[in-house]
Amino acid sequence: MTAVTDHGPAADRARARSAAARGPGSRRRLRTPWRTRLEILFFVTPALVLFAVFLVVPVVQAGRYSLYDWNGLGPMDDFVGLANYASALGNEVFRGAVGHNLTIVVLSILIQLPLGLGIALLLNREIRGRTALRVIIFVPYVLAEVVASVVWFMLLQPNGAIDALLESIGLGGVVQLWLGDPDVALYTVMVVLTWKYLGLAVILMLAGLQGVPEELYEAAQIDGASWWQVQRRIAVPLLSPTIRTWVFLSMIGSLQQFDMVWILTAGGPANSTTTMATYLISQGTDRSLYGYASAVAVLLFGISFVLAALYQTFVLRPRSERRPETEVGR
């Protein structure tokens, strides 16, 4: 029946109307790319300007300063080329700072990931006081780093509140010079950083769990799966994009760690907690070696950029882009 009606007068009129309608539509489609490009340009330009002013220009300026032996005052007329970079890479304290940053990166992931994931899975259940527990866990993250650092600095003083608490529960033997012992100070800082940033991991993973369809949980329960099997086979695999994003944020934040370390220990004792950021600040502001400090800043930027690019390439990139051969083979 359809073949017959397609050749009738009514079909001819319909095709004529369709052709008339396609004419202006085709012109609109031709204009659409330009309009889309203008819209993109309109919305993206302010962000690009801010990106250039507050990121590109400072990085270029730091690269320029790093080529001079400059104390921050007067003209830059003592060109030293790459000597500041060679001096930084050959400096034992700077190499130790890089090691401390990498230690913080690894420990942050090893400690905060299982803790954050476990707490998020528990708080995703219907338990009494769940909202209050979420608030309590997230409060340290919203505190200013300076406030949190000053509070912990006071608590960790010799004969301070932490020592008194440990002695009151019979653990006086584990009391240490928490911020004064080079063998303990970095791990003490790590405990404070975990307390401060664990809330971010929990909130991100809780948000990711909200995106898991309820139908999957219900289907698993109908099949007789236990709570642990549901979490292990459904929740955690579907949470992997959120986990990868959190690991990336944790890695970059750990590489750039400055304020809390600076207030707690200022990089001491004996440079045992020095990070790249605290090292460049101490060299620039305390010793007025702005050219050298700029070289350290460029190295910090380069290390962060390389690690971020590698993580983006091998971890954050969608699986379909990482293994095109497999998709084609299917």
Segments making up each domain of the chain, as ranges: 93-316
**C-beta separation of 261 from 197 below 8 A:** no
Q: Which residues of 122-156 are buried (b: 16+ CB within 10 A; e: fewer)?
A: ebbeeeeeeeeebeebeebbeeebeebbeebbeeb
Residue 216 pLDDT greater than 60, yes or no: yes
Nearest CA to 254 among 42, 63, 99? 99
Q: How confident is the model over 100-105, as a mean pLDDT?
A: 96
Q: How confident is the model over 297-319, as a mean pLDDT?
A: 89
Kindly state the percentage of the chain with pLDDT values over 70.
86
The second-level CATH assignment, the architecture, of 93-316 is: Orthogonal Bundle (1.10)
Tell me, rounded to whole angstroms, the distance of Cα 148 from its chain centroid: 20
Q: What is the predicted pLDDT for the residue at 221?
A: 86
Q: What is the predicted pLDDT for the residue at 17?
A: 61
Predicted TM-score (pTM) of this structure: 0.81
Q: Which residue has the tokens 């002013």?
A: 53
d(CA 109, CA 115): 10
Other C-beta atoms closer than 10 Å to the C-beta of 27 total 10
E strand or H helix at 241: helix 240-255
Q: Which residue has the tokens 């991100």?
A: 204
Residue 77 sits at the vertex; the CA angle it makes with 56 and 280, to the nearest 5 degrees, is: 50
Phi, psi dihedrals of residue 143, rounded to the nearest 5°:
-70, 145
